[in-house]
Amino acid sequence: MIINILLPGSARYPIGGFKIIFEYANGLSVKGHKVNIILPLNINEMDDSLTVRIKWKYIYYRDKILKKFKADSWFKFDSNINVHWVQSLDQKFIPEGDILVATSWHTAQIANEYSQNKGKKVYFIQSFETWHGSYEDVIATWKMPFKKIVIANWLLEIARKNNEEAKLIYNGFDFNSFGIDVLPQQRDPLSIGMLYHEMEIKGSRFGLEAFEKLKTEYPELEVNLFGVPEKSKHIPEWINYFQNPDQNLLRKIYNNSSIFVNPSKVEGFALTPAEAMICGCAVVVSDIAGHRDYSFNEKTALLFTSENVDSLIEKLRILLNDNDKRINLAKKGNEYINKFQWQDSIDKFEKLILEI
């Protein structure tokens, strides 16, 4: 089969949702399908003004020559995958195919207008994207005549409440790239890791506030952050920050942390806490829907009240003060997360698209 996958922009920097899509692309390519990944400079058609058209043309050809649009710096594609850098998602830039996969509400909105020769339409839903679209626009795409795949139970519930059919396929995780190199009991018990993100929905400010308060109580506390942007002025000097770590360094950061925090306000199916579990961290996460498919309070993780710094500090204190509990939680989280194997997810995805 020829499978066209539409993304809402370039893949120059690491994005969790893109990584999931690329893993599916690799898995389907290995199974013998021809996969086209479509990355647009603009989602919609370009502005009609001559000045704007010239500007975007320049950016398009510059990035095409320099290959700035690709994910090669942070993701390894199967050699048979075709990555297309296009000026927009106008269907004239989209190759013909058997299956067409929209991966965001923007791409679904546009793909809904495509002719059938671009492929039978699948909507791969990783979140309820009202954080960058209106409720009305987002829900309208859920009601479009696509075969829908969701990645978490909370998204399945949204589909059901709107009388829409959807297939739940959990994400898999990369157990080759991530793993335990330093046993939980051998780590500095006062070491904490966290992804830093500038988007408000990621809740990084709650983590930073908690760390600042805990530093006065635990002077030896060490915090390791990683993220895409340069180190922000909001990050205290005493906190270590790693910009755009490669795969090996990211694994090392996880393995050098006893505890991993994810304070997000919204997640589809959070990746970094799961990766931290694979690497042997005890995980402390906000009590939101996007964590609940693998984070169970006092069993595989500790959950705190979302957007509540005092609640986060309370949970962190439990693990900072009780080494045995921290080690036990890390082991239980690691055992549970191993259920999420990529091959299972890819097999289910392939079965669904073959059926349609």
Q: Where are the domains of the chain?
A: 2-172+341-355, 184-337
Separation between Cα atoms, residue 124 and residue 81, nearest integer Å:
19
Residue 259: helix, strand or coil by DSSP? strand
What mean pLDDT comes out for the span 214-218?
98
**Is the confidence at residue 103, as pLDDT, over 80?**
yes
Q: Tell me how far apart the alpha carbons of residues 115 and 130 are, in angstroms, rounded to a whole number.
A: 27
The confidence score (pLDDT) of residue 54 equals 84
pLDDT score of 46: 56
Look at residue 67 in the predicted model and tell me its pLDDT.
86
User: Domain 2-172+341-355, what fold?
Assistant: Rossmann fold (3.40.50)
- Between the ranges 38-52, 59-73, 129-143, where is the mean pLDDT highest? 129-143
Helical H runs in 256-308?
272-278
Superfamily grouping for domain 184-337: Glycogen Phosphorylase B; (3.40.50.2000)
Q: Which of 75, 74, 90 is nearest to 42 (CA)?
A: 90
Percent of the chain at pLDDT > 70 equals 99
Question: How would residue 285 be classed by pLDDT, with cut points 50, 70 and 90?
Answer: very high
Do domains 2-172+341-355 and 184-337 share one topology? The answer is yes
> What is the pLDDT confidence band of residue 48, given thresholds at 50, 70 and 90?
low
The pLDDT of residue 68: 86
pLDDT band at 43 (very low <50, low <70, confident <90, very high): confident
The whole model's pTM is what?
Answer: 0.93
Residue 28 has pLDDT above 90, yes or no: yes
How high is the pLDDT of residue 57? 85
SS3 353: helix
- Residue 100's pLDDT is 98
